[in-house]
Amino acid sequence: MISAAPTTPAEYWDKYKPHRGEGDQPRPAARAFDWTGLADGGPGAEVLGTPDTALDLGPAEGENAAYLARAGVDVTAVDFSAVQVDRARRFWADEPRLTFTHAEACAFLDQNTRLFDAIYSTWGAVWFTDPEELFPRVAARLAPGGTFAFSHREPAVGHYGAQQMGGKWLEGRETELSVWRWQYSADQWADILKRHNFTAIDAKVLPNPDPAALGTLLVTATMAAHH
């Protein structure tokens, strides 16, 4: 029996992004903090500084969040895919410093009034949310001096701004479901962050070990002490 095609982005994530196989999968090792998705020994959790609290926007399997929690950080991980949140809760039920919440990123930031020392997204919600909607909300929830960091695949030249995703359920179904991602060059991200009052911005591309493949764009910024 073939299940119905997703009609919302959250349903798309429910159906296709838990992609390691059918049935229960072993949880990830969480031995390192990974920005690139590649076994390249790239930068790790040091990018975030030394936070006591952190917010993960779009944690998927929760590996990075679990790594931080094991290092003593109190982590809240927010994902709008109910399937992924349920799976992550099963994977990491034994990590007392880690909480998974089912919510859309902007809605969570509107409703939750606490401040976080670090807010980050690794190929997660920052890639799939309009920064004009998301960044003001991140700024409001980032503690003074806190770090905002995110990564996503390096865009192909000219493929900047809101880009419609393809996918096996999306082909020929664009009128039913559009999944968008917002991607920019390093300089464009820096300009957007400046406009939203972030400082100490560092935006760069981490090359892929395969010279024919796209790299990872890694962006970090700080919230000024008074904002």
In angstroms, the CA 45 to CA 199 distance is 20
**pLDDT higher than threshold 50 for residue 1:** no
What band does 15 get if pLDDT is binned at 50, 70 and 90?
low
Which residues on adjacent β-strands are paired with residue 162? 182
Helix (H, G, I), strand (E, B) or coil at 148: strand
Is 133 within a domain? yes
In a domain, residue 206? The reply is: yes
Within a domain: 205: yes
Neighbouring-strand partners of residue 183: 161
Q: Where are the beta strands (DSSP E) in the chain?
A: 53-57, 74-79, 98-102, 116-122, 142-153, 161-164, 180-183, 198-206, 216-223
Domain assignment of residue 23, yes or no: no
pTM over 0.75: yes
pLDDT single digits (tens) 154-201: 776 666 556 665 555 444 444 455 666 768 899 999 999 999 999 999
Domain residue limits at 216: 52-152+180-227
Residue 141 within any structural domain of the chain? yes
The answer to whether position 8 is within a domain reads no
Name the domain count of the chain. Answer: 1
Alpha helices, DSSP H, located in the chain: 9-16, 63-70, 82-91, 105-111, 131-141, 186-195
Tell me the sheet residues that pair with 202.
220
Q: Which residue has the tokens 């960044």?
A: 135
- The C-alpha atoms of residue 152 and residue 108 are separated, in whole angstroms, by 21
For 123-133, the pLDDT digits (tens) are: 888 888 899 99
> Taking a C-beta distance cutoff of 8 angstroms, is the pair 97, 72 a contact?
yes
How far is C-alpha 200 from the chain's CA centre?
A: 20
d(CA 52, CA 89): 21
Tens digits of per-residue pLDDT, 54-112?
A: 999 999 899 999 999 999 999 999 998 888 899 899 999 999 999 999 999 999 999 99
Question: What's the one-letter identity of residue 16?
Answer: Y
The separation between CA 18 and the C-alpha centre of its own chain, rounded to angstroms, equals 15
As a whole number of angstroms, the distance between CA 106 and CA 132 comes to 11
Nearest to 221 by CA among 194, 181, 195: 194
- 119 lies in some domain: yes
Confidence (pLDDT) at 97: 98
SS3 9: helix
Residue 122 forms part of a structural domain: yes
CATH code for position 130: 3.40.50.150
**Mean pLDDT across the stretch 195-216?**
91
Whole-number pLDDT of residue 128: 83
Q: In the prediction, which pLDDT does 114 show?
A: 95
